[in-house]
């Protein structure tokens, strides 16, 4: 089971890295917009988007695993709406910088390469720090993102330092594709959460089903949906009609703890229902035992 300590430290890491990236992103945007440096402009938009998402993830990790009756759905709906709107806005801005760069080669002073390399160093530091928390899916995804950002910033800085400014549109095009992919992935996750759509292909449903079966229980249905960046899981368990309320309650608590132990699960809703089929199976088993 995921420890509260791991979640707390991961939340702090997201908060620190998000706040640390903001000044550099603002400085990149200041130079990019003020002097027309398209590489800094695009990287600044991207860095600002990443910083805001990191702060948002820090808040979400802080509250997602608080087991309480009043789940903060408003916060997760707000996450989805904000993520979609910011994604569209950032894609538009980066695409605009890419389109402007096609007008012709742009000369940038060599010292600006160090700004991009500083951004690369920050992304690399984030990736290294996140290795300790890779057990969390949200951290694993961000680590891959930070690794790609590091490579792009290194290449962009190299283009400026070697004065191969004709490659600026190529680097900006690569940045735009990365931003577009991240935005599409984040927006799709947010849309699934807002619509309450059932999620397939994560392997979570199958893993939970195996865990419940190992407890000697039969799940009738396991429903997995998004709750912001996390998962909501509802399991319906079949029990014999003669099961006492006390035993049904114990089974429900055991299954809830099992589901909550999986990474990414913020809500575990377990329901038990009587099954006439299990009653018939039990009666047949008792008759067979009486014959022996």
Q: Which residues pair with 273 in a beta bridge?
A: 238
For the beta carbon of residue 54, count every other beta carbon within 10 angstroms.
22
Query: Given this model, what pLDDT does residue 104 score?
Result: 67
Q: Do residue 231 and residue 181 come from a single domain?
A: no
Question: How sure is the predictor about 235, in pLDDT bands with cuts at 50, 70 and 90?
Answer: very high
Q: Are 149 and 123 in contact (CB under 8 A)?
A: yes
Residues 96 and 157 occupy one common structural domain: yes
- End-of-domain residue from the set 171, 195, 219: 195
pLDDT digits (tens, 9 = 90+) for 10-59: 888 889 999 999 999 999 999 988 888 888 888 898 888 888 888 888 88
251 plus 179 within the same structural domain: no
Instruction: Examine the domain organization and report whether 179 and 237 are in the same domain.
Output: no
d(CA 2, CA 77): 24
Residues 184 and 261 in one domain: no
Whether residues 252 and 161 fall in one domain: no
> Which range marks the domain in which residue 51 is found?
4-195
Domain boundary among 145, 161, 195: 195
With cut-offs at 50, 70 and 90, classify the pLDDT of residue 267: confident
Listed residues 195, 219, 254: the one ending a domain: 195
Could you read off the pLDDT of 158-172 as tens digits, one per residue?
888 887 777 888 888
Surface-to-core class of residue 74, CB atoms within 10 Å of its CB (0-12 exposed, 13-18 middle, 19+ buried) = exposed
Closest CA to 3 of 123, 100, 120, 136: 136
The 265-274 sheet, strands edge to edge? 218-227, 230-239, 265-274
The CATH number that applies at residue 257 is 3.30.70.1350
Q: What is the pTM of this model?
A: 0.67
Identify the DSSP state of 167.
G
Alpha-carbon distance 127 to 208, whole Å? 30
Question: Above 90 in pLDDT, residue 118?
Answer: yes
What is the model's pLDDT at position 285? 44
């Amino acid at each position: 089971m995921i420890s509260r300590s791991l979640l707390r430290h991961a939340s702090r890491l997201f908060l620190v890295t998000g706040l640390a990236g903001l000044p550099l992103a603002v400085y990149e945007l200041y130079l990019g917009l003020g002097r027309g440096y398209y590489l800094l402009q695009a990287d600044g938009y991207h860095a600002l988007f990443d910083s805001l998402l990191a702060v948002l993830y820090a808040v979400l990790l802080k509250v997602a695993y608080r087991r309480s009756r009043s789940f903060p759905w408003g916060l997760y709906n707000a996450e989805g709406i904000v993520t979609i709107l910011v994604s569209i806005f950032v894609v538009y801005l980066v695409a605009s910088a890419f389109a402007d760069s096609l007008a012709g080669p742009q000369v940038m002073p060599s010292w600006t390469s160090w700004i991009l390399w500083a951004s690369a160093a920050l992304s690399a530091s984030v990736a290294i720090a996140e290795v300790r928390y890779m057990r969390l899916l949200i951290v694993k995804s961000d680590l891959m993102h930070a690794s790609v950002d590091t490579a792009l910033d290194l290449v962009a800085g190299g283009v400026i330092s070697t004065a191969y400014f004709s490659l600026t549109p190529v680097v900006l095009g690569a940045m735009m594709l990365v931003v577009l992919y991240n935005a599409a992935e984040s927006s799709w996750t947010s849309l699934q959460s807002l619509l309450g759509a059932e999620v397939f292909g994560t392997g979570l449903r199958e893993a939970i089903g195996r865990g419940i079966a190992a407890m000697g229980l039969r799940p009738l249905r396991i429903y997995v949906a998004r709750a912001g960046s996390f998962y909501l899981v509802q399991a319906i368990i079949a029990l014999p009609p003669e099961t006492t309320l006390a035993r049904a309650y114990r089974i429900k608590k055991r299954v809830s703890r099992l589901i909550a132990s999986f990474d990414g699960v913020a809500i575990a809703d377990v329901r038990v229902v009587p099954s006439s089929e299990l009653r018939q199976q039990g009666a047949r088993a008792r008759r067979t035992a009486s014959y022996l």
